[in-house]
Homo-oligomer: A and B are copies of this chain.
């Protein structure tokens, strides 16, 4: 009997549940909304209903390994508790593992959403051929995840991968975390919106001012379009994105010398605009990156590359969790 696992990607907006087989093929997927306003219990009920629905569909032909759940925010992995998540108000201190295991009767493995994305890319994406990687996700904020020896790296407090709050400009823009000059203040969609609004307000960029008429949020996509048509202010914004990313990556590469650093998230679609500045900083600032370039023929270089799985990385990584973490200890008798 073939095996499969269920992956759950629970975000502040979207809730997705998929059955995935050992080769990474998505057998079935439920794509719905989290609808935080309806309260936690309603979301959890929709989640467990979808898991049961999918399970029953495959119970005759496949053996369930377990359920992996990717969550935003700070998770106490030992206790199986969601400590807090900015995008899930009312979910603080939710004993997710215990609650979901009681409701489903199968093994549930929690994981930080950024680590899920990193694990997804390791399994089926831009990190397929390596065992150790770092993934930086450029979304509304900047998230980070590490895979070490093929598994998510959590750190002593489960808080490894807070790459959005690495200091890149010590006296730079203030950040909500209390620091100044965090990577997130330069390389996130939020930062791009802030910098683009400033440019539009100042009159420096007719293109961005025009774009704001149809896209009041000035998304990274709109700024990218302006940059692609040669708007100097928009180009400068992606230059700042690349410079900040390059400083952070140079530090990460000098420290850990992993074989692969993967850039994902919506902003990564502007790769053509920010990557030249990023690589310029990397070359200047990382002796380890340069040494890797020289050693390229021996396949021991450090590569910085765009993500491949787009928004399915987290879902696939969540489904991968039971496959690599469970062993024979998983419970797989579904509670109907």
Contacts and interface: CB of A to CB of B under 8 A. Distances in A.
Interface of A: 74, 130, 132, 144, 146, 148-149, 153-163, 165-170, 177-179, 247-248, 250-252, 254-259, 284-288, 290-292, 295, 300-302
A288 B170 contact: no
A334 to B, nearest CB: 34
Contacts of A288: 155, 157, 159-160, 162, 165
Contact of A291 (B159, B248, B287, B300): B159
Contacts of A290: 178
Contacts of A285: 165, 167, 179
Contact of A254 (B165, B258, B286): B165
Contacts of A259: 156
Nearest to A171: B169
B167 A257 contact: no
A161 B132 CA distance: 16
Contact of A157 (B130, B167, B255, B257): B257
A145 B325 CA distance: 28
17 contacts: A74-B291, A132-B156, A146-B256, A155-B257, A156-B259, A160-B256, A162-B254, A165-B254, A165-B287, A166-B250, A166-B254, A166-B255, A167-B247, A177-B287, A179-B250, A251-B251, A252-B255
